[in-house]
Amino acid sequence: MPMIEFRSVTKRFGSRVAVDDLSLTMEQGSLTMLIGPSGCGKTTSLKMVNRLVDPDGGDILINGTSINDLEPVQLRRSIGYVIQEIGLFPHYSVFDNVAMLPRLHNWKPEKTRDRVHEVLDMVTLDSSYADKYPRQLSGGERQRVGLARALAADPDVLLMDEPFGAIDPINRLTLQESFLEIQEEIKKTIVFVTHDINEAIKLGDRIAIMNQGSLVQHDTVAEILENPDSEFVENLLGRDRKLKALSLKKARDYVTMEGYLTLEPTADKKKTGDMLADQKLKIAYLLDDRKRLAGRIYIEKPKKGGKRGDAVREQQPYRVERNTSLTETLSRMLETGEKRLPVVTRDGHFLGVINLNDIFAEVED
């Protein structure tokens, strides 16, 4: 049974048809991206799931039950909701913002406290953020708090309306990668509205493309990239859709455990340099007692006359998260001049390295 099912849903605003006979299913644990031009009906479709907008025809079922059979307030409290403007209460602390839904569900204070800290940790905000107020946070941090609040009551369904749209490009990439890590852990059924085809390709299990209120194509990301149904879909994907297909492949799938050393953060720089030279290696990654990346020591290029380069210690080496796409990984390598990058989880746990030559080999294939 699908977790969410649209059955011939129609919505009109006056004489304008915003959503026209929409039939669409979303499986449990899947992440469906709704995308299309402005005014295509994607946000209206999202808002009908939790009855912020009521359909004029058809029906929407959640886990087999019609939303019309559910009391609207209770329905909304059972569904996580994240919007672009975030909507945090400025006079509430981060703790109180996140605790709002558990309290509405009459959770015991101890359970609420533990859950708030659990979801803050999930979105990579440590416990010190609990006592801060929204005005003290960056845009990216406020968006993480908004996501934590949506997850606090452990809903089965999560609705996200362009949640990263107002974030600067660098923080947006970081949030997207963290979000993928979180979804791997929680496996919620997520409906995610976006206007960015690259975001849809990067995040989605499936993409639902809409135009003028109608569903144009709904399929896996790989199938849509390979077999667009129409010229409209081809234009939405762009001429570089073959290159976009490379973004479906993640850094985690190309990790190698060879060609480097791993040492403790206190490793002596000179001794490490000698060790690397003896083993004909160029780099050692420094890992703390929890196997998190804490730095690196590498040998510089040879000096004039062929003399061995000096050993250099670096505390914050460039890295990529495990869900970073190959296209983004390649871009980061070209920007930084690195031929290999460490691959880490969202909490910094070291998994291995990805090499530039392996990405080139994939491109050539």
Q: What is the reported pLDDT for 254? A: 94
Quick check: 211 and 36 in contact, CB under 8 A?
A: yes
Among 3.20.20.300, 3.40.50.920, 1.20.140.10, 3.10.580.10, name the CATH number for the domain at 252-364.
3.10.580.10
Closest to 219 (Cα-Cα) out of 37, 44, 47, 26? 26
Judge whether 221 and 207 are in contact, CB under 8 Å.
Answer: yes
Tens digit of each residue's pLDDT, the chain (365 residues): 799 999 999 999 999 999 999 999 999 999 999 999 999 999 999 999 999 999 999 999 999 999 999 999 999 999 999 987 778 899 999 999 999 999 999 999 999 999 999 999 988 888 899 999 999 998 888 989 999 999 999 999 999 999 888 788 878 888 888 888 889 889 999 999 999 999 999 999 999 999 999 999 999 999 999 899 999 999 999 888 777 877 788 999 999 999 999 999 999 999 999 999 999 999 999 999 999 999 999 998 887 766 788 899 999 999 999 989 898 899 899 999 999 999 999 889 999 999 999 988 887 76
| Residues contacting residue 325 through CB under 8 Å, at least 6 positions apart | 202, 246, 247, 248, 249, 250, 251
pLDDT of residue 297: 95
pLDDT of residue 37: 93
Residue 98 vs residues 102, 114, 117, 132: alpha-carbon distances, Å: 8, 11, 9, 12
CA-based radius of gyration for the chain: 24
The whole-number pLDDT of residue 305 equals: 66
Domain with CATH 3.40.50.300 in the chain: 4-248
Please name every residue paired with 340 in a beta bridge, in sequence order, or none if there are none. Answer: 355
Query: CA–CA distance from 165 to each of 24, 133, 179 (Å)?
Result: 25, 22, 14
Note the pLDDT of residue 97: 94
- Quick one: pLDDT at residue 140? 86
**Start-end ranges of CATH 3.10.580.10 in the chain?**
252-364
Q: List all residues 6 or more positions away from 334 whose beta carbon is below 8 Å from its beta carbon.
A: none
pTM above 0.75, yes or no: yes
Question: DSSP string of 199-221?
Answer: HHHHH-SEEEEEETTEEEEEEEH
Architecture of domain 4-248: 3-Layer(aba) Sandwich (3.40)
> Residue 141 in contact with residue 147, Cβ under 8 Å?
no
- Listed in sequence order, the DSSP H helices in the chain are 42-49, 72-77, 94-104, 109-122, 139-151, 169-186, 197-203, 221-226, 231-237, 241-246, 269-278, 326-336, 356-364
